[in-house]
A and B are shown apart, each in its own frame.
Chain A
């Protein structure tokens, strides 16, 4: 009996990514949109980690990429929440449908 196949990890990552996309499109609350983006980034990280473990041997370049993705995700969360707070200060709402300043 072999250990968990690579396809199992890819399956979880795919489902997680699709849940993230659905939440990104359908959330009314701006904080929930940021959470959905974090879910999608985590799905990509699972993909990178499983390929790194199963296909890359002992080089594990995928783990280094995951560390970089975690860095960028932390920066993205900080800037995103700062933008959200300054938006809330100007609009006093977090409803995504009311953020239409750049809509033409």
Chain B
């Protein structure tokens, strides 16, 4: 065993345990703020796994998009909706947890069986190194050009949709004087159409 492969294996074990334990923490911890920070740790661990797989560009994209954008967005959403509330007790919750745990373990064993018993026809990892970024660029502008453009349209649609969905309706004229205001916008009282239904 040379020193490079043993270092790779040690890094793989560390990153794998970070990812698995972090994911368990995300799902199982009571405090959702801890879950969100652990989710950032999981994303960083996955980026490390990408680095082990000779994919520096995707690792950088993972850190930028997931840790920098998605995780921060989730933290902001937690800040906006974080309210101490007593969840109603639901009967059969424990049974549901156990049953779904059994189903998920079954799925896990199925996946592991497929992973471990299939004879993957391995050429082995190719040491492409820094060339991978150029290859991704070539792919994006030749044979994957249409999905690339569709992805940009999808991002635009998602941005407009998120703005429309999360926007508050505001009055653009002052109630007392009738003048138009551009600051101190007063929020319209939104109809609590769903509130009385949620109480029963």
Contact = CB atoms under 8 A, between A and B. Distances in A.
Contacts, number: 251
Interface string B55-77: 10110011001100110011011
Query: DSSP class of B's interface residues: helix, strand, loop or mixed?
Result: helix
A53 B128 CA distance: 9
Give the bracket for the number of chain B residues in contact with chain A: 35 or more
Dominant secondary structure of chain A at its interface with chain B: helix
Given A3-B9, A14-B108, A19-B23, A84 B81 contact: yes
Interface of B: 1-2, 5-6, 8-9, 12, 16, 19-20, 23-24, 26-27, 32, 35-36, 39, 42-43, 46, 49-50, 52-55, 57-58, 61-62, 65-66, 69-70, 73-74, 76-78, 80-81, 83, 85, 87-88, 90, 96-97, 100-101, 104-105, 107-108, 111-112, 115-116, 120-126, 128, 131-132, 135-136, 139-140, 144, 147, 151, 154-155, 157-159, 161-163, 165-166, 168, 190, 192-195, 197-198
A29 to B, nearest CB: 6
Given A49-B53, A90-B192, A58 B128 contact: yes
Interface string A37-72: 011001001100110111101111101101110111
Nearest to B43: A42
Interface of A: 1-4, 6-12, 14-23, 25-32, 34-36, 38-39, 42, 45-46, 49-50, 52-55, 57-61, 63-64, 66-68, 70-79, 81-86, 88-95, 97-98, 101
